[in-house]
Amino acid sequence: MTTQRIRELCQSEPFRPFAIHLADGRDLPVVHPEFLALAPSGRTMVVYQSDDSMNIVDLLLVTDIEIPADGQISNR
CA distance 12 to 33: 9
Beta pairing, strands 27-30 & 18-22? antiparallel
Q: What is the per-residue pLDDT across 18-65, written as a single tens digit (0 to 9) for each?
A: 999 999 999 999 999 999 999 998 899 999 999 999 999 999 999 999
pLDDT reported for residue 73: 73
Domain residue limits, the chain: 3-66
Beta pairing, strands 18-22 & 62-66? antiparallel
- 3-66 topology per CATH: SH3 type barrels. (2.30.30)
pLDDT of residue 75 exceeding 70, the answer is no
pTM of the model: 0.85
User: Which long-range contacts link 44-52 to residues 24+ away (Cβ below 8 Å)?
Assistant: 45/3, 45/6, 47/20
